[in-house]
Chains A and B, each alone.
Chain A
Amino acid sequence: MNAGGWIIMLVSVGGVTALFLTCLYKVLAGGGKKTEHMHGLDIDTHDVGED
């Protein structure tokens, strides 16, 4: 493995790992919130309450 290979591997793997961990941190720091659902046109599929 030559120097170019090391650089491409470290930048590629390091880059996607850093991006993934940063995004995951931001999502988890946001609390994985559940928020109000908004529907302008709710379509009845007759299966509410079937659980």
Chain B
Amino acid sequence: MATEQKKEAWNSRLGVILAVAGSAVGLGNFLRFPGQAVKYGGEDGGGAFMIAYFISLVLIGIPICWAEWAMGRFGGSKGYNSSPGILNLIIKHPAGKYIGILGVIIPVIIYMYYVYIEAWCLGYAVNFLRGGLDLGADPDKYGEFWGGFIGIKENGSAIGFGLGQVGGYLILVFALNFFLIYRGISQGIEWFCRYAMPTLLVLAIIILVRVLTLGAPIPDKPDQNVINGLGFMWNPGALMSNLANPELWLAAAGQIFFSLSVGFGVIITYASYLAKDDDVVLSGLTATSANEFCEVGLGGMITVPAAFVFLGSAGVVGMGTFGLGFNVLPLVFSQMPAGQFFGFIFFFLLFLAAVTSSLSMLQPGIAFLEEGLGINRKQSVGLLGLITAMGCLFVVFFSKDIKALDTMDFWVGTFLIFVLATIQIIVFGWVVGIERGWQLAHQGAELRIPDFFKVVIKFICPLFLLLIFACWVATNVFGFNFSTGEFKLSGYVLDLVGSEEQPANNVARASVALILIVAAFIAALIAQAGKRWARLEQAKEGES
């Protein structure tokens, strides 16, 4: 029954800001963002992408952040820390807690493969330090190392414990995450982020200075210099025609969306541990701006210019996040003076960014298990550890073509995030109500949100999100081509349903089955939690 207990809470305002910023800052800031800017800006430069990016930041990113912070703090003030609990409280309908299930499933599933990527970062840092990535100037060698390291050729081949295999690093990072999460909000997450985030910033600035002072490192290619590398990243190119491309807007909005960790179920849980008169407007904006500084101010100045000066535009265009991070950049670092040191620094920086993100993925699950089932932290950490370890083992075992990772990232790390963010902004603008929501957001706030954001949050943001979501489903699920107007089912769907040309992929199917099993398990727990919450509410009413 309800008791007056000392609850977990953040130690300071700066601590929660660093934790939320740490959740948002990850591989996407240093790898995905510059890759997207260059991809959609074309060979003329990514300047047009930036315009769409900043418009999306104002219309989607910042409003959803504020909504999550405000709803999370409100839920926390009533004793709830998980999305099911908070949405159950706000929606006041039995379905509310089931809508909140996404706020548990998303971070738990993403953790299962994100911790694997985190282990790659640590492994690369260690291998740079010991000279294991000094592979010369042949790009294929770096592809072979990466493929061998993560077991891309054969299922089961990633499970090895040498310095050039991912297994040992995975156990280390898994244990580190659960050690920190077991220590709790203030002594685990906040303590780690207080050191990791400033360290990350310092390391990024060291790398930035190194990159900006590279000049033209290849004597017979003077055009491959830092200034032209920056131009490749920032030049507007054919601005109006680029801005007329709907795929650029989709990519820019998607980047904002994934970069800020909105729709993950993380911010709402973190904010629930705030004090009643903490300034969520300023805290939300500070965490967002910290992420933007890392992404635009550091990530946008490092990755593309560094790759350009050694490899030219051909070495950058068309590279995905993993290709850029684990094939191109190791080659780049190996070519630059003191590259062994700077390679270590860069991958250690990615590792720190990844840990602060993965920690945030565990807390929503822990919060739900504690408050939903009434179990203590030791038990909830143990249960979540078991679930995520099984899922992680699945991802690591089915490493061929990183199919399991890719499938789970598509359906959960992309598709469901759109769904949850859309639900959250609609709940804030229409269920809580914009005027009540405004009051909740401004409780204890020194900073005022400009009034035009009322219209943005209530109308523009949901419509923009629904439009983007519809376009995303059309292109990424049904394979709609904006240029030709043709539909062709995407590979992710064909993996599940198969076709005459492409049989269904059993690993992809098993990955979706795993997601559904986890969802069913959490739904069953939510049903139990709902009964418990109802009993607690009745007891509380009886007391008053």
Q: Does B453 contact A (CB under 8 A)?
A: no
Instruction: Name the B residues within 8 Å of A13 (CB-CB).
Output: 296-297, 300-301
Please report whether the interface of chain B is mostly helix, strand, loop or mixed according to DSSP. helix
Which of B50, B275, B536 interacts with A37 by CB under 8 Å? B275
Q: Does B293 contact A (CB under 8 A)?
A: yes
Given A12-B54, A42-B5, A45-B375, also A4-B239 (CB < 8 A): yes
Contact A1 B234 (CB under 8 A): yes
Contact A45 B370 (CB under 8 A): yes
Instruction: Name the B residues within 8 Å of A4 (CB-CB).
Output: 47, 235-236, 239
Contact A38 B77 (CB under 8 A): yes
- Contact bitstring A10-51, B, C-beta under 8 A = 1, else 0: 001101110110011011101011111111111111111011
CA distance A9 to B228 in the complex (A): 13
How close is A38's CB to chain B, nearest CB, in angstroms?
A: 4
Given A1-B230, A43-B371, A45-B375, also A33-B297 (CB < 8 A): no
Contact A47 B2 (CB under 8 A): no
Contact A20 B77 (CB under 8 A): no
Instruction: Name the B residues within 8 Å of A34 (CB-CB).
Output: 10-13, 275
Which of A28, A43, A45, A51 interacts with B14 by CB under 8 Å? A28
Which of B79, B283, B292, B293 interacts with A43 by CB under 8 Å? B79
Contact A23 B1 (CB under 8 A): no
Contact A50 B297 (CB under 8 A): no
CA distance A2 to B237 in the complex (A): 9
Given A5-B230, A32-B14, A34-B12, also A44-B374 (CB < 8 A): yes
* 19 A-B pairs with C-beta separation under 8 A: A2-B231, A4-B236, A8-B47, A12-B50, A15-B54, A23-B285, A23-B286, A23-B289, A26-B446, A30-B279, A32-B12, A34-B275, A39-B77, A40-B79, A41-B79, A42-B7, A47-B370, A48-B5, A48-B6
Ranked 10 nearest A-B pairs via Cβ: A1-B231, A41-B79, A47-B376, A5-B235, A38-B276, A23-B286, A35-B275, A9-B234, A20-B293, A20-B289
Q: Which residues of B contact A (CB under 8 A)?
A: 1-7, 9-15, 17, 45, 47, 50-51, 54, 76-80, 187, 227-228, 230-231, 233-236, 239, 275-279, 282-283, 285-286, 289-290, 292-293, 295-297, 300-301, 370-371, 374-378, 380, 444, 446-447, 536-537, 540
Q: Which residues of A contact B (CB under 8 A)?
A: 1-2, 4-6, 8-9, 12-13, 15-17, 19-20, 23-24, 26-28, 30, 32-48, 50-51
